Each structure stands twice: as structure tokens, then as C-alpha cells.
Amino acid sequence: MVKGKRPTSSTATPWTRWVGVVVGLAIVAGIVWWVTTRGAEEAPTEEATTEGVGPQPLDVAGGPTRAEASIANVPPESLVAHGVDAPRGVVVSNDPRLGDADAPVVIVEFSDFQCPHCADFHTNTFPALRSLYGERVRWYFVNRYFTQPHPHAKAAAIAAECANRQGKFWEYADGVFRRQEELGPDVLDQIAGQLGLDRAAFDQCRADPAVAAEVASDQAEGERLGVDGTPTFFVNGVRIVGAQPLGVFNESIQPYFQ
């Protein structure tokens, strides 16, 4: 006869089992309380971070005031002996122009053919201004380029001056701004060909020292007026800097038509 082992009894009693359950619940409750409290303390930090992300874009639907558009009066020195070709103090004697000679508003634009902001202005804002005001605004284009960041801007300025001598400046300028990212000697030639310019006259013009001198005089006028960024505009002598939205220009132009 094989004797079996005597059954062993558990040392745990109902009382000790209940103590274990209560302790477990207490631990879980403590963890929940800690997580909840920590989340509540961190909420203000998240809100403060949101408020401190820096300036947000301004609502410029109506355009900033003229004072906010980097405005300064133009000195009148260059008016001497330049007559109607020096509107409000800016010498534009040989520069391309649009609009009526007696238009009540004269805008002089200093622009760089390799400046992305200039391209943005000519693609978007300039057509809108022409559509709104047409010949009632006289527009002058003056080359103001910066060769260190824009190595092809000078050549483009000279080429555009030569296109102007064949009555195609604005069309040529449109072509240059559209192909700004690929600008180079070949592109300047291609635009001339697409516009049907007299290529012999165009090439001869680009080699003419007098044309280079005209472009240099544009540069000198920009420097004299303190144009250190492009595009810069003078609207009846009031300076507006940058490719500002349409509302900024309207604020300067519309008072002359009221």
C-alpha cells in the first residue's frame, strides 16, 4: 500500500487576501492620481509655448498704412534741368515708360531682373495695377541690380535696354521675369528671338558702351536715392519698399482720383 502525501494547507487566510486586494487598488488609484495631476500642471506650459511661437502673419487684405510701407520723401535735387523727365525728384530721362504723359500719378520702379520679389511683383501686382488704372498712371522702370547675388542681372538690364530701343521693353521684361530661374546668355538671346527683334541691331546694341553707360546711370540714381533693396517704388515721390500687396499701392494712388 502506497502512502500518499498529506495535503498541505495554504498559509493565506481570507483576511490576508482582502488586504492584498485593498493594497493593489490603492496603488492603482495612486498612479491615476499622479498622472492626472501631472497633466494638469503641464497644460499651462503647453499654452505658453503656443503663445511664444513668434509673430504671426499680419492681415494685409487692406494693406498697411503708408507709414508702415517704409515711406520717405525723395530729395528734389535731381529736378534741376530735367523737366518732365524727373518726376518728383527721380531722374528717368531715358528709362522705359508706360501711361499718359500728363497722368496724375507717376510711379518709378527700381528693379533687378534676378530679384525673386521683383518677379513676384511683375507676375501678380503689376498686371493688377495696370488693369485698375491703365494709362492714368505713368510708370517708369529703372534698373537697380546687385551683381554679387545676381550675376546675370547686369546683362539682362543691358539686353532689356536694347529691346526698349526696338519698342519691346515691357514684353522683353516679361520674358526675363518668367524665365528668371534659368537666366543666362542663351535665355536672353532666346527671348529676343521669340519677340522677333532685329538680332543684328540687338547684338550691336548690347556691345554699345553708351547703353552700358545708361544702365550705369540707373545704378547711380538708385544709389543716390538710397535704394538698397529691390523692388523699390516712388509713387509721386513717396517711397514704397518691397513687393507690397495691391492695397499698399491703392492707398497711395486712389487719393489722386477722388
Please tell me the predicted confidence (pLDDT) of residue 163.
Answer: 96
pTM of the prediction? 0.67
Please tell me the predicted confidence (pLDDT) of residue 25.
Answer: 57
Alpha-carbon gap, residue 45 to 86, rounded angstroms: 59
Residue type, 118: C
Residue-by-residue pLDDT tens, the chain, 258 positions? 444 444 444 444 555 555 455 455 555 455 545 444 443 333 333 333 323 222 222 222 333 333 333 333 333 333 323 334 445 567 777 899 999 988 999 999 999 999 999 999 999 999 999 999 999 999 999 999 887 888 999 999 999 999 999 999 999 999 999 999 999 999 999 999 999 999 999 999 999 999 999 999 999 889 888 888 899 999 988 889 999 999 999 999 999 998
Alpha-carbon gap, residue 149 to 222, rounded angstroms: 17
Please tell me the predicted confidence (pLDDT) of residue 4.
Answer: 44
Please tell me the predicted confidence (pLDDT) of residue 128.
Answer: 95
Closest CA to 159 of 123, 197, 126: 197
How many CA atoms within 13 Å lie on the side-chain side of 234?
24
Residue type, 69: A
- Which residue ranges make up each domain of the chain? 66-257
In CATH, the architecture of 66-257 is 3-Layer(aba) Sandwich (3.40)
Please tell me the predicted confidence (pLDDT) of residue 238.
Answer: 86
CA 242 to chain CA mean position, Å: 7
Please tell me the predicted confidence (pLDDT) of residue 147.
Answer: 78
